[in-house]
Amino acid sequence: MKRWMAVFVGLVCGLLLVSGFGYAQGVSIVGKVQYFYPLDKDFLDIYGGGLSFGGELGISLFGRVDLWLGAAVFQRKGELTFTKEETILWIYPVSAGLRFRLTRGAVQPYLGAGVGYFLYRESNVIGDVEKQAVGLVSRGGLHFYITRGFLIDLFFEYSTCKITPADFSVNIGGITGGLALGFVF
C-alpha cells in the first residue's frame, strides 16, 4: 500500500509541474516533521498522538495565492479494548488546497483551506481494516525565506474526516503542528 501511495503522490506532483503551471511565480518542495493530536476521544484513548512525517509541493499561481499538495503518514501502536492485544494503525492523509500569503517579504504569514483524502488502515489479531474517506483541511503558518532558495515553514493544521471502521464512526482528523524545511525554485 505504501508503494501505491508514493506512486500516486509522485504522479500527481509530476502532472502539476508539467501541466500548464509554467506561469507560476515559484515552486516549493518541503519535507515536514509534525505532531498529530487526534480530537476524537476514543481514538485518543487507544492510540494517543504522536509524530508524523510528510512532504508538500507548493505552486504559486498568481499574486499571493498558492496551490499546495501534501501527503503524510501517521503510525501508532495501541491495544484492543478488552483483550489488550497489540493493534497497529496507519493513517495516510493526502491533501490539496489553496493558500493565501497575507504579506510579501522574508516572513510571510498564510492561511489556507482544502480537501483531504484519508486512507485508514488498522491491523490486529482480529483482522485488518482498510477504509478511505474525504475530509476537510484548514491551515495557517509562517513561511521564513532564509535565502533565495531555502524555506522554513512553521505551521498548524486542523483536519476532520469521519470513517466507519466497524460498527462505529470515528473522526480521524485532528490538530497538527510542525516544522517544514524545503527549497523554492
pLDDT by residue (tens digit) across 130-168? 999 999 999 999 999 988 889 999 999 999 999 988 788
Query: Are 101 and 130 within 8 A, CB to CB?
Result: no
Over residues 13-53, the pLDDT tens digits come to: 554 444 433 334 589 999 999 999 999 998 888 889 999 99
Give the model's pLDDT for residue 168. 83
84: DSSP letter: -
Question: Nearest-CA neighbor of 28 among 17, 18, 38, 20?
Answer: 17
Tell me the three cell numbers of residue 28: 516549493
Cα angle 99, 113, 44; round to 5: 130
* C-alpha cell at position 12: 500527481
pLDDT top residue among 2 and 42: 42
Output the CA–CA distances (angstroms, integers) from residue 166 to 30, 129, 130, 170, in the order listed.
Answer: 36, 8, 10, 10
* pLDDT tens string 60-94: 999 899 999 999 999 999 877 777 788 899 999 99
81: three-class secondary structure by DSSP: coil
CA distance 128 to 125: 8
| DSSP codes of every residue in 15-79 | HHHHSSGGG-S-EEEEEEEEEEEE--HHHHHHH--EEEEEEEEEEEEETTEEEEEEEEEEEEEEE
